Amino acid sequence: MRSVLQAIEVARHFDVSRPALQRVLAGEGRRILRAVDGVSFDIPAGRTFSLVGESGCGKSTVARLAVGLYEPSAGEMRFEGHPLSSARSQPALRRKMNMIFQDPYASLNPRWRVRDIVAEPIRAFHIFSGRAVIADRVAQLLTQVGLSAADGEKFPHEFSGGQRQRISIARALSSEPEFLVCDEPTSALDVSVQAQILNLMRDLQNRLGMTYLFISHNLAVVRHMSDRLGVMYLGRIVEQGPGEAIFRMPRHPYTRLLLDAIPDVAMVGKTRAAVSGEVPSPISPPPGCPFHPRCGLANDRCRVEKPG
């Protein structure tokens, strides 16, 4: 099957050191934050690959690497076989990818009408020309995501959170992409609205053949969306495989603890294992397996040997 996005040992490090003079006076070296530290995955066309993990594990950094907002510090991102750096310089490739952000209100220009927000990628990539043709296309996109053409005359503040996310999806689809990065697109929404947005995204994927990189901290959401699943911890993928296989038989202790945290009526009254402790600093990660300070199954080997 054709590969749309491929990550090959991708890393992204940030220099968070103090200014040089302060470092010299304090006698300290540089401080490097390893937000992503050697991540590999492959997303086939028409499929959904999901990344899950606690806040600070590097999921959103991977999302930004996937659309070229960040350059990898090491490794390579490839889009349809091309290095992502070349995709940024080629409009024909760049229009094939887009992103849906976590906060729909913050990602929409409050001073623009919805029709102009949705039409912006159409004009930027010169997909259609002529005011009437663009207006018709905007109306089609709004209808496609469950809004009306008349909503194009309104401003973002006139909509609910779920409706704003529908506008964000319409804008993402306006460049006619093949690949969407969905960075926690439902985490700011009510549970009932989350279900509506997820069903919409699944329907669009089936009708348009879209490929998704789906970022979330909610395993219940991910189960609804995923073909394959990667569990991230401290910048690395600790477990990866078919979504249902991981839910049915998780192998990594961290994955098991995350699954135990999902609300389940059948588990009422039963003891659950909680994820204890704090996530270690990505500036100075622990040696060996990064999860061993919080793992009840850790042994001496875990403290010195990093899993392959």
Q: 277: buried, middle or exposed (CB in 10 Å: 19+, 13-18, 0-12)?
A: exposed
Predicted local distance difference test score (pLDDT) of residue 270: 60
Whole-structure pTM value: 0.89
Mean pLDDT of all residues in 267-281: 66
Pick left, alpha or beta for residue 80 (phi over 0 → left; psi -120 to 50 → alpha; otherwise beta): left
**In this predicted structure, which of 15-24, 193-202, 211-220, 267-276 has the lowest mean pLDDT?**
267-276
CA dist 66 and 108 (Å) reads 21
Mean pLDDT of all residues in 224-253: 91
Predicted local distance difference test score (pLDDT) of residue 263: 66
For residue 269, is pLDDT > 60? no
Q: Which residues contact 126 (CB under 8 A, 6 or more apart)?
A: none
- Class level of CATH domain 3-96+177-304: alpha beta
Closest CA to 10 of 41, 56, 50, 45: 41
Q: 280: buried, middle or exposed (CB in 10 Å: 19+, 13-18, 0-12)?
A: middle
Domain spans of the chain, in order of start: 3-96+177-304
Q: Between these two residues, 268 and 151, which has the higher pLDDT value?
A: 151
CB 88, CB 147: distance < 8 Å = no
Render pLDDT for 33-66 as a digit per residue (tens, 0 to 9): 999 999 999 999 999 999 998 888 899 999 999 9
Q: Where are the alpha helices (DSSP H) in 209-283?
A: 219-225, 243-248, 253-260
Mean pLDDT of all residues in 131-149: 95
